[in-house]
Amino acid sequence: MSTASLPANAGVTPGPQHVAIIMDGNGRWAKARGLPRVAGHRRGADAVRRVIRGAAELGIPVLTLFAFSTENWARPVAEVSDLMGLLRHYLRSELDELARNGARLRVIGDRTRLAPDIVRDIVDAEAKTRSNTRIDVNICINYGARDEILSATRSLARKAAAGEIKADEIDEAMFERELQTAGVPDPDLLIRTSGEQRISNFLLWQCAYAELVFVDTLWPDFDKSHLEQAVTEFRRRERRYGGVGS
């Protein structure tokens, strides 16, 4: 990578400006307590509230949470139904909390498979939080990075076939405008909870240069202190983007 194409903050680690989190471990949290999986998901929703508040207090401008992947539809029907019910409840009950935290909500993902009432709740929540400016909170629902990349590729192919663009004009900036995260800065820090060390089809393009921090804490137990520890680890690292360190 040439120096001219390096991100503006190459070699400097003051942030992070954008933290993305794979929220993992709800089921294991519930199983360890002899509870149904939905109990873990409910406690996980409490952790979402804590972490949004904590991120706002830490001055993190952008927070992205992986809530439901395209692969999660393969889970048992009852569990998917419980998750959709929790999503409905969250969208309808958390608007005041989001407002208190100055959080602007954006839902990222394919909405075509979601129930119409959930889509309406998403649109309503996004509209009602649009003027909040303290922190941007992106929640990924029915999101898969491979699907996102394929969709962007198809969109550009259609535009090229129609003569709207030339194939040689396609660059990273043009491609990024076709992604579901268009307008959102790339994450500098990706956190995964529960001890798993995978990125699981999450923001594959956007996390090309993200620092990865894996923590053993199960998501329902994750709070501001764990977020601070991950941020501290991030700030210890020198970000070279393929260059040579000092």
Annotated binding site for substrate: 25-29, 37, 41, 69-71, 73, 75, 192, 198-200
Nearest to 118 by CA among 83, 70, 66: 83
- Binding residues for Mg(2+) are 24, 211
Could you give the CA distance from residue 158 to residue 169 in angstroms, rounded to a whole number? 14
Exposure of 211 in the CB half-sphere (CA atoms within 13 A) = 24
Cβ-contact 156, 170 below 8 angstroms:
yes
Nearest to 105 by CA among 79, 67, 149: 67
Sheet holding 103-108, edge to edge: 103-108, 135-143, 62-69, 18-22, 189-192, 211-214
Identified catalytic residue from 24, 82, 121, 188: 24
72 in active site: yes
Identified catalytic residue from 9, 72, 147, 221: 72
132 in active site: no
Residue type, 205: W
Query: Token pair for residue 106?
Result: 């954006």
For residue 208, give the 3-state DSSP assignment.
coil
Residue type, 162: A
Q: How many Cβ atoms from other residues are within 10 Å of residue 27's Cβ?
A: 21
- Binding residues are 24-29, 37, 41, 69-71, 73, 75, 192, 198-200, 211
Q: Which residues are catalytic?
A: 24, 72
